[in-house]
Structure 1
Amino acid sequence: MTTLSHSPRRGLTWAVLRLHRVPLWVWAVMVIAGAGGLIWLYELGQEAAPYSRACDGTGMLQCATEMRYGISELRSAQLLAWLSCGIAACAGAALIGRELEHDTVTLAWAQSVSPVRWLAAKLAVPAVALLGGTAVLTLMFRWVWVSGPDGGANRWNSEYFHAAGSVGPAYVLLGLALGALAALLTRRTLPAMGLAVVGIGLAYHLGDRVRSSLWPASEVRGPWDSTLNHVDQLELGVITKSGEHVSGVDCSDQAVPGDLSTCLSDHGAVDFYAEIHPTSHYWPIQLVETGIVLALAAAAVAAAFSVLRRRLP
């Protein structure tokens, strides 16, 4: 009697790969297409770089290439930030919900595959594929963004923050976990996809709302200038003679230094202030939010296994 050359765990992994080879190939094609688009964007950025400082001049034709680059860069950031999370949420719901809906999962469980191992394989295979593809596109987008002209885009904008850092892949894993949990709760594919998309959308929105509070902000004083366009602005205002901070005072239309002094005196203030997150806070906040999102993904996976155990016959 000969022994099997493949372990049951490896056989289950290959079975999942074979069963879902079509969506995996579709995802691979999407990643390759995205990488090709980012290479094109890099070339466009190099073409636009010589004109990046000429757009304040007279001819708008010189700025056409840079404007096209800026729009394409923003669209790329939006696609990478939003589409990858939506795909992950739908994938987690569809890959598991379809088998539960059609009851084909009982066949796998009858072939010496435990429900826990089945769910682990169903999550691990798409997680590796989604995480690998998203990580590649994230690194490429950051390479393109750093190498291209500065079109005035703030690195703290939500789409850029997701597309150019570790937060994006973390949200992809959270979307996959939420999709799996929704599928186990509803045992239906379409409702699970809807719930998962809503869930990852809420998580995305909450992340944007609480991001500025994940790290202590810094205060800078003095007249506001263009350097504040590249930081995360939390609060702008003036400081009164008593030391009170009054936010919301707008002196932006008074650019001449004398006019700024007039603006201060009109409000009984002695200086300007701004609560900001400078560039040095970018990666600490990225890592803190990444850790929180990964913890939420782990909690969703744990909840999915708990639901699976409770629904076993």
Structure 2
Amino acid sequence: MIRMTLRQFRGQALVGALLLVLAASYLVRLGGAIRAVRETSQLPSQYGQTMLFLAAGFGLVPALIGAFWGAPLIARELETGTHRLVWNQSVPRRYWLAVKLTVLGLVGMAVAGILSALLTWAAAPVDQVTGDRFSAVLFGARGIAPIGYAAFGFTFGAITGLLVRRTLPAMAMVFLAVIAVQLAVPNLLRPHYLPAERTTVQMTADAINRARSLGSITGGAAIGGLELPDAWITETSRLLTPDGRQLSDAAFNECLDNAPKTGASGTFGDTAVCLGDLDLHVTLAYQPNQRFWPFQWIELTLYLGLTALLAAVGLGRIHRRVS
């Protein structure tokens, strides 16, 4: 059964192996070029955008594995009726599905693990300088968590194909759904794996000028894009007055629209000076960078748990209803 599964998979395996070799060659050369830079302080400016691009691209790998390896795995056999040939040879349905999920799921996990290890190695000098591998994009392209993403993507694809029973619709659904999960987890679940640390930061004119944004779509005294050394900020309060109350919208807008002219430089110039004179502060919730590996293990466990749940659903479904 294992040999048959691998033989049926040889086309996708050859394509995957070719892409893996190309990606590995590029990452090895990239890692060598990064380590050849003598002034490490220049690494973020030279390779920061490259790291973001690679991380974003790597985020598509689970969706591609799910759509092109997982979704056709069962759906194609159900469409063509070839599953009946195997079952008529006294192969139990659950065993047939379990072998397919296990063997090819491990292949997908190995591919993701190799790519993640190479990218983590290549990017290590840049990550050390920037200290932001905990960010939503970079975290998912480092360490061991991508192994769980691949397992989930593949199994979700296979079980979706089992339920939908049509290859192309299943591929489209899986690709979009896996991407949606990859976007939801970093924003909704990851910040809460462990209780956040909290701190208060005074909003001087200099501190405000180091932020990325003032205000929000809904209006109000908001500030965004603040940074803490060696930390991932998960929540930023509104601008607060010395007594702990939120700065009123009227006072905030007055500084935005009618700040006294001081000739100040910086991102927000006179507005930053005006707000800085109000003795404001914000409270920040953050996760220290030292929690990177605990979070990696938590996220790997989460995705492997989802994978096991999906596999159980598929094994129960194929035993009861698929004919």
The TM-score bracket by the shorter chain reads 0.7 to 0.9
**Per the alignment, do residues 85 and 167 of structure 1 end up closer, same or farther by CA in structure 2, a change over 3 Å counting?**
farther
* 1:93–1:183 CA contact under 8 A, matched in 2: yes
- Residues 44 and 130 in structure 2, CA contact (< 8 A), matched pair in contact too: no
Counterpart selection for 1:90 from 62, 68, 76? 68
CA distance in 1, matches of 2:44, 2:231: 22
User: By how many angstroms is 1:153 displaced?
Assistant: 7.3
Equivalent residues in 2 for 1:95-114, closer than 5 Å: 95-114=73-92
The reply to whether residue 298 of structure 1 matches residue 308 of structure 2 is yes
- Counterpart in the other structure of 2:49: 71
1:24 and 2:21 aligned: no
- What CA distance in whole angstroms lies between the structure 2 residues aligned with 1:192 and 1:262? 56
Residues 265 and 71 from structure 1, CA distance in 2 versus in 1: closer, same or farther, beyond 3 angstroms? closer
Provide the C-alpha distance between the structure 2 equivalents of 1:216 and 1:149, rounded to a whole number of angstroms. Answer: 24
* Cα distance, 1:301 vs structure 2: 1.0
Contact 1:90/1:196 (8 A) holds in 2: no
Give the aligned partner of residue 216 of structure 1: 195
Partner of 2:94: 116
Aligned partner of 1:232 in structure 2 is 232
User: Which residue does the alignment assign to 1:283?
Assistant: 293
**Match of 1:299, as an amino acid?**
L
Alignment of 1:14 onto 2:3: yes
Q: How many Å separate the matches in 1 of 2:227 and 2:187?
A: 23
Give the letter for the 2:33 counterpart: L
User: Which residue in 2 is equivalent to 1:50?
Assistant: 38
- Given that 2:62 and 2:154 are in contact with CA atoms closer than 8 Å, whether structure 1 keeps it comes out as no
Q: Secondary structure in 1 aligned to 2:99?
A: helix
What amino acid sits opposite 1:215 in the alignment?
Answer: L
Determine which of 174, 177, 194 is the counterpart of 1:196.
174
Q: How big is the shift at 1:283?
A: 2.4
CA shift, 1:16, in A, is 0.9
TM-score by length of 2: 0.77
- Does the C-alpha gap of structure 1 residues 241 and 149 become closer, same or farther in structure 2, counting only changes over 3 Å? closer
How many residues are matched? 286
Shift in alpha-carbon separation, 1:131–1:260, aligned structure 2, 3 A: same
Cα deviation for residue 190 of structure 1 reads 0.7
CA separation of 1:78 and 1:262: change in aligned 2, threshold 3 A: closer
Q: Please give the secondary structure, in 1, of the residue aligned with 2:198.
A: strand
Letter in 1 for 2:38: P
- The yes-or-no answer on 1:185 pairing with 2:174 is no
- TM-score (structure 1 length as normaliser): 0.79
The Cα of 1:118 is off from its aligned counterpart by: 0.8
Q: What is the alpha-carbon distance in structure 1 between the residues aligned to residue 191 and residue 47 of structure 2? A: 29
Sort the Cα spacing of 1:307 and 1:246 in 2 relative to 1 into closer, same or farther, 3 A.
farther
- Do 1:235 and 1:247's aligned partners in 2 also have CA atoms closer than 8 Å? no
| Greater mean alpha carbon deviation, residues 19-28 or residues 66-75 | 66-75
Mapped to 2, the partners of 1:282 and 1:153 lie a distance apart of: 11
Cα offset, 1:275, TM superposition = 1.9
Residues 157 and 34 of structure 1, relative CA distance in 2, 3 Å threshold: same
Alpha-carbon separation, structure 1, partners of 2:130 and 2:248: 25
Map of 2:58 onto structure 1: 80
> 1:123: Cα distance to partner?
0.8
The Cα offsets for residues 77-119 of structure 1, whole Å up to 9 and x where unpaired, read as 2222212432234311112111111000100111121111110
Change (3 A) 1:296 1:66: closer
Deviation at 1:197, TM superposition (A): 1.4
**Displaced runs of 4 or more, over 6 A:** 245-251, 259-262
CA contact (8 A) 1:84 1:172 kept: yes
CA shift in 2, pair 1:261/1:221, >3 Å: farther
CA 1:219–1:66 in structure 2 vs 1: closer, same or farther (change >3 Å)? Answer: closer
Whichever residue aligns with residue 37 of structure 1, its letter is Y
Question: Which residue does the alignment assign to 1:62?
Answer: none
| In structure 2, distance between residues paired with 1:247 and 1:157 | 31
Instruction: Find the aligned partners of 1:84 and 1:153 in 2 and give their Cα distance.
Output: 25
Alignment RMSD, CA only?
3.2
The 1:151–1:247 alpha-carbon spacing in structure 2 relative to 1, beyond 3 Å, is farther
In structure 2, what is the Cα distance between the partners aligned to 1:247 and 1:302? 53
Matched residue type, 1:118: W
Closer, same or farther: CA 244–287 of 1 in aligned 2, 3 Å: farther
- Alpha carbons 1:239, 1:246 under 8 Å: kept: yes
